[in-house]
Protein backbone atom coordinates (compact mmCIF):
# COMPACT_ATOMS: atom_id res chain seq x y z
CA UNK A 1 0.00 0.00 0.00
CA UNK A 2 1.23 3.45 -0.97
CA UNK A 3 2.57 6.12 1.36
CA UNK A 4 1.89 9.52 -0.18
CA UNK A 5 3.18 12.98 0.72
CA UNK A 6 1.33 16.26 0.15
CA UNK A 7 3.58 19.31 -0.02
CA UNK A 8 2.19 22.27 1.92
CA UNK A 9 3.02 25.71 0.52
CA UNK A 10 1.68 27.18 3.76
CA UNK A 11 -1.39 28.43 1.94
CA UNK A 12 -4.43 26.52 3.07
CA UNK A 13 -6.30 23.59 4.52
CA UNK A 14 -5.31 20.37 2.75
CA UNK A 15 -7.62 18.14 4.77
CA UNK A 16 -10.06 17.38 1.92
CA UNK A 17 -7.22 16.25 -0.35
CA UNK A 18 -5.60 14.17 2.41
CA UNK A 19 -8.88 12.48 3.33
CA UNK A 20 -9.74 11.82 -0.33
CA UNK A 21 -6.43 10.01 -0.87
CA UNK A 22 -6.92 7.98 2.32
CA UNK A 23 -10.50 7.16 1.39
CA UNK A 24 -9.42 5.88 -2.01
CA UNK A 25 -6.77 3.45 -0.83
CA UNK A 26 -3.57 5.17 0.25
CA UNK A 27 -1.99 3.43 3.23
CA UNK A 28 -0.96 6.75 4.75
CA UNK A 29 -0.90 10.39 3.69
CA UNK A 30 1.39 12.92 5.34
CA UNK A 31 1.55 16.68 4.85
CA UNK A 32 5.18 17.77 4.49
CA UNK A 33 6.86 21.19 4.43
CA UNK A 34 10.03 20.35 2.51
CA UNK A 35 11.05 17.60 0.10
CA UNK A 36 14.26 16.43 1.80
CA UNK A 37 12.73 13.14 2.96
CA UNK A 38 10.85 12.41 -0.26
CA UNK A 39 12.51 9.00 -0.59
CA UNK A 40 10.39 7.81 2.36
CA UNK A 41 7.23 8.13 0.25
CA UNK A 42 5.88 6.28 -2.77
CA UNK A 43 4.25 9.32 -4.34
CA UNK A 44 3.96 13.10 -4.04
CA UNK A 45 1.08 15.52 -4.56
CA UNK A 46 1.64 19.22 -5.21
CA UNK A 47 -1.76 20.66 -4.21
CA UNK A 48 -3.84 23.35 -5.85
CA UNK A 49 -3.97 26.00 -3.15
CA UNK A 50 -1.99 29.23 -2.94
CA UNK A 51 -0.36 31.75 -5.27
CA UNK A 52 2.46 31.18 -7.73
CA UNK A 53 5.36 33.22 -6.30
CA UNK A 54 4.92 32.26 -2.61
CA UNK A 55 4.54 28.60 -3.63
CA UNK A 56 7.72 28.73 -5.72
CA UNK A 57 9.60 30.35 -2.82
CA UNK A 58 8.45 27.63 -0.45
CA UNK A 59 9.56 24.78 -2.69
CA UNK A 60 12.69 26.11 -4.41
CA UNK A 61 14.97 25.26 -1.48
CA UNK A 62 14.30 21.56 -1.91
CA UNK A 63 13.45 21.48 -5.63
CA UNK A 64 16.50 19.31 -6.34
CA UNK A 65 14.81 16.49 -4.42
CA UNK A 66 11.73 16.86 -6.63
CA UNK A 67 13.88 16.74 -9.77
CA UNK A 68 15.58 13.57 -8.55
CA UNK A 69 12.27 11.91 -7.64
CA UNK A 70 10.81 12.64 -11.08
CA UNK A 71 13.95 11.38 -12.82
CA UNK A 72 13.68 8.15 -10.82
CA UNK A 73 10.05 7.74 -11.88
CA UNK A 74 8.34 8.43 -8.56
CA UNK A 75 4.67 9.28 -9.26
CA UNK A 76 4.08 13.00 -8.80
CA UNK A 77 0.73 14.74 -9.29
CA UNK A 78 0.41 18.52 -9.55
CA UNK A 79 -3.11 19.85 -9.01
CA UNK A 80 -4.06 23.28 -10.43
CA UNK A 81 -1.33 25.56 -8.99
CA UNK A 82 0.76 22.43 -8.43
CA UNK A 83 0.52 21.72 -12.17
CA UNK A 84 1.23 25.33 -13.16
CA UNK A 85 4.42 25.40 -11.08
CA UNK A 86 5.90 22.61 -13.21
CA UNK A 87 6.21 24.95 -16.20
CA UNK A 88 8.79 27.63 -16.99
CA UNK A 89 6.85 30.73 -15.95
CA UNK A 90 3.38 32.01 -15.12
CA UNK A 91 1.61 35.30 -15.76
CA UNK A 92 0.42 35.08 -12.15
CA UNK A 93 3.91 35.69 -10.77
CA UNK A 94 7.31 37.21 -11.42
CA UNK A 95 9.45 34.24 -10.34
CA UNK A 96 10.52 31.47 -12.67
CA UNK A 97 8.67 28.17 -12.48
CA UNK A 98 10.25 24.82 -11.72
CA UNK A 99 11.05 24.30 -15.44
CA UNK A 100 10.26 20.59 -15.28
CA UNK A 101 7.94 20.98 -18.26
CA UNK A 102 8.52 23.35 -21.19
CA UNK A 103 5.88 26.02 -21.65
CA UNK A 104 4.15 28.94 -20.02
CA UNK A 105 1.06 29.50 -17.88
CA UNK A 106 -1.26 32.22 -19.15
CA UNK A 107 -4.36 33.93 -17.79
CA UNK A 108 -7.68 32.87 -19.26
CA UNK A 109 -8.80 35.39 -21.91
CA UNK A 110 -10.27 38.46 -20.21
CA UNK A 111 -13.49 39.71 -21.72
CA UNK A 112 -14.11 36.37 -23.41
CA UNK A 113 -14.80 34.20 -20.38
CA UNK A 114 -15.69 34.72 -16.74
CA UNK A 115 -12.62 34.66 -14.50
CA UNK A 116 -12.05 32.63 -12.42
CA UNK A 117 -13.40 29.55 -14.14
CA UNK A 118 -15.29 27.98 -11.25
CA UNK A 119 -17.52 24.93 -11.53
CA UNK A 120 -18.06 21.71 -13.42
CA UNK A 121 -16.83 21.16 -16.95
CA UNK A 122 -16.34 18.09 -19.10
CA UNK A 123 -13.15 16.48 -20.35
CA UNK A 124 -12.22 15.64 -23.91
CA UNK A 125 -9.83 12.70 -23.62
CA UNK A 126 -7.19 12.83 -26.34
CA UNK A 127 -5.14 9.79 -25.39
CA UNK A 128 -6.81 6.61 -24.25
CA UNK A 129 -3.62 5.02 -22.89
CA UNK A 130 -3.25 7.46 -19.96
CA UNK A 131 -2.50 5.65 -16.70
CA UNK A 132 -4.12 8.44 -14.71
CA UNK A 133 -7.33 8.36 -16.77
CA UNK A 134 -7.70 4.58 -16.89
CA UNK A 135 -11.42 3.77 -16.81
CA UNK A 136 -12.48 7.43 -17.10
CA UNK A 137 -15.03 7.99 -19.85
CA UNK A 138 -14.72 10.73 -22.43
CA UNK A 139 -16.89 13.77 -21.54
CA UNK A 140 -16.72 13.00 -17.81
CA UNK A 141 -17.34 16.05 -15.62
CA UNK A 142 -14.79 17.41 -13.16
CA UNK A 143 -14.58 20.47 -10.91
CA UNK A 144 -12.43 23.50 -11.84
CA UNK A 145 -11.36 26.57 -9.87
CA UNK A 146 -8.70 28.51 -11.79
CA UNK A 147 -7.83 31.72 -13.60
CA UNK A 148 -4.84 30.43 -15.60
CA UNK A 149 -4.10 27.68 -18.10
CA UNK A 150 -0.93 25.89 -19.11
CA UNK A 151 0.40 26.26 -22.65
CA UNK A 152 2.86 23.36 -23.07
CA UNK A 153 5.41 23.61 -25.88
CA UNK A 154 5.10 19.85 -26.38
CA UNK A 155 1.42 19.29 -27.11
CA UNK A 156 1.91 15.52 -26.97
CA UNK A 157 1.98 15.86 -23.15
CA UNK A 158 -1.71 16.83 -23.16
CA UNK A 159 -3.91 13.78 -22.63
CA UNK A 160 -7.20 15.61 -21.93
CA UNK A 161 -8.59 19.08 -22.55
CA UNK A 162 -11.64 21.06 -21.48
CA UNK A 163 -13.41 23.79 -23.44
CA UNK A 164 -13.96 27.07 -21.59
CA UNK A 165 -14.11 29.52 -24.47
CA UNK A 166 -10.54 28.43 -25.06
CA UNK A 167 -9.04 24.95 -25.00
CA UNK A 168 -7.65 24.28 -21.51
CA UNK A 169 -5.10 21.47 -21.09
CA UNK A 170 -6.89 19.63 -18.30
CA UNK A 171 -4.46 16.71 -17.87
CA UNK A 172 -0.80 16.51 -18.87
CA UNK A 173 1.18 13.34 -18.43
CA UNK A 174 4.88 12.55 -18.83
CA UNK A 175 5.77 9.12 -17.53
CA UNK A 176 4.73 9.10 -13.87
CA UNK A 177 4.43 12.91 -13.75
CA UNK A 178 0.81 14.04 -13.84
CA UNK A 179 -0.60 17.57 -13.96
CA UNK A 180 -4.31 18.33 -13.64
CA UNK A 181 -5.93 21.75 -13.96
CA UNK A 182 -9.04 20.70 -12.04
CA UNK A 183 -9.47 19.32 -8.51
CA UNK A 184 -9.91 15.53 -8.48
CA UNK A 185 -10.60 15.59 -4.72
CA UNK A 186 -13.70 17.72 -5.46
CA UNK A 187 -14.80 15.84 -8.59
CA UNK A 188 -17.03 13.11 -7.16
CA UNK A 189 -16.81 9.54 -8.42
CA UNK A 190 -14.76 10.52 -11.48
CA UNK A 191 -12.15 12.26 -9.35
CA UNK A 192 -12.09 9.33 -6.93
CA UNK A 193 -11.30 6.99 -9.83
CA UNK A 194 -8.40 9.23 -10.87
CA UNK A 195 -7.04 9.26 -7.32
CA UNK A 196 -7.24 5.46 -7.20
CA UNK A 197 -5.35 5.34 -10.49
CA UNK A 198 -2.65 7.60 -9.05
CA UNK A 199 -2.40 5.45 -5.92
CA UNK A 200 -2.10 2.38 -8.16
CA UNK A 201 0.77 4.08 -9.98
CA UNK A 202 2.44 4.61 -6.60
CA UNK A 203 1.86 0.95 -5.65
CA UNK A 204 3.29 -0.25 -8.98
CA UNK A 205 6.41 1.87 -8.57
CA UNK A 206 6.85 0.64 -5.00
CA UNK A 207 6.60 -3.00 -6.07
CA UNK A 208 9.08 -2.42 -8.90
CA UNK A 209 11.82 -1.32 -6.49
* Catalytic residue set: 80, 183, 185
Q: Among 29, 23, 61, which Cα is nearest to 42's?
A: 29
Amino acid sequence: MAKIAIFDYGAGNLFSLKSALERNGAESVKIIYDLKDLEKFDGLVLPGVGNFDPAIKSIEGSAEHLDKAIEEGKPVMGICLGMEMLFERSEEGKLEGLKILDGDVMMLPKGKVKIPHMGWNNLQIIKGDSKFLKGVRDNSWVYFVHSYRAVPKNRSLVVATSDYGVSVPAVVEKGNLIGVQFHPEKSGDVGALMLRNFIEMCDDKKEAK
